[in-house]
Amino acid sequence: MGRIRNKLMYEKGKACTRINAFSTHIMRQPTVIGMSETISVIKNSKASIARYGDGEFDIIFGRIEGFQKKDLELSKRLRTILKKNAISKRFLVAVPDCFGDLSQFNENAQIHWKIRLDKERIRWVRCLNTKAPYYQAQITRFYFDWADKSRCKEWYAGLKNIWNNEDVLLVEGEFSHVGVGNDLFDNALSVRRILCPSENAFDYYEEILETICNYAKTSDLIFMALGPTATVLAYDLFKRGYWAVDAGHIDLEYEWMKLGTNEKVKIAGKYVNEVKGGNKVENVQDEKFVKQIVAKVGI
């Protein structure tokens, strides 16, 4: 019986792969604007950005995503915002550039995206508004997945220029410690921090949103590293007149780029959700970091 079931599952998987592959010819695929232009628009237009990766798509379809439990409201919000890519030139919705040629990625990333799209291309594309372009969600993953790493430092410099001489309000997970121990924000005018739960932050969504609005000035750059919660926050803050950038993983990619590593590794003092044991973070005794904290929510 088990052998028959496995055979049926295997054949179902093959059929699903063929159907998803054929869909590239009959369904309009999204246009994804490139890395440099995405970074430039955020800087020059002070555009807010909500980023979607495969984790956000998983949540849309009711799956559990590592550091975020299943939440119907989060799923609904992510699905709705995903189609807001044409509402304003100052609100960017970003998805991975994985729907066409994958040669820009290294072998592991190519395999990852091929497996995901072979199984789920139709479901993902149906969630999109393909009549308008999307922006590049991988701007904050500027190092690890790329085959040609010659432009990584250029992309990083462009990202860092976004907050050059800006007052930054950083909304992050309690153990993320974004920019702690490196020079990521050394060119910012000022940095203040709101700390939130590193896991299941959406449980405190309304409180987080209210706290941000209480501390943020409309001239601030609100920099968020808070998983799928940041994706939703980017839209709600934009609607309230703020400049909000969903920029998770940028700090880790910078650390990996400095190390020149070919595999994702733990970074001392930082929450790394994609590495085994990366959720166990030692206490950071950094006076500058502590002084930057203006509020804590849910911790």
Question: In terms of C-beta distances under 8 Å and separation of at least 24 residues, what long-range contacts does 143-148 make, across chains too?
Answer: 143/253, 143/254, 143/256, 143/257, 144/109, 144/253, 144/256, 144/264, 145/105, 145/106, 145/108, 145/109, 146/104, 146/105, 146/106, 146/109, 147/103, 147/104, 147/105, 147/106, 147/107, 148/104
What is the DSSP-derived secondary structure letter of residue 28?
A: P
> Are the CB atoms for 59 and 228 separated by under 8 Å?
yes
pLDDT at 15: 45
pLDDT at 166: 99
Rounded Cα gap, residues 21 and 117, in angstroms: 8
Mean pLDDT, each 10-residue run in order, the chain (299 residues): 44 49 71 98 99 96 84 97 97 98 97 96 97 98 97 98 99 96 98 97 98 98 98 99 97 97 91 81 85 98
**Residue 23 in domain:** no
**Residue 92 in domain:** yes
**Residue 19 in domain:** no
**Residue 117 in domain:** yes
What would the two tokens of residue 160 be?
């860092």
pLDDT at 239: 98
pLDDT at 9: 39
What would the two tokens of residue 60 be?
């849309």
pLDDT at 145: 97
Question: In terms of C-beta distances under 8 Å and separation of at least 24 residues, what long-range contacts does 263-269 make, across chains too?
Answer: 264/144, 268/181, 269/177, 269/180, 269/181
Tokens 């369904």 belong to 27
**Residue 7 in domain:** no
Residues spanned by the domain of 116: 30-296
**Residue 148 in domain:** yes
Total domain count, the chain: 1
Entry pTM: 0.90
Helix (H, G, I), strand (E, B) or coil at 174: coil
**Residue 13 in domain:** no
**Residue 61 in domain:** yes
- Where do the H-state alpha helices sit in 174-272? 205-215, 227-239, 250-259
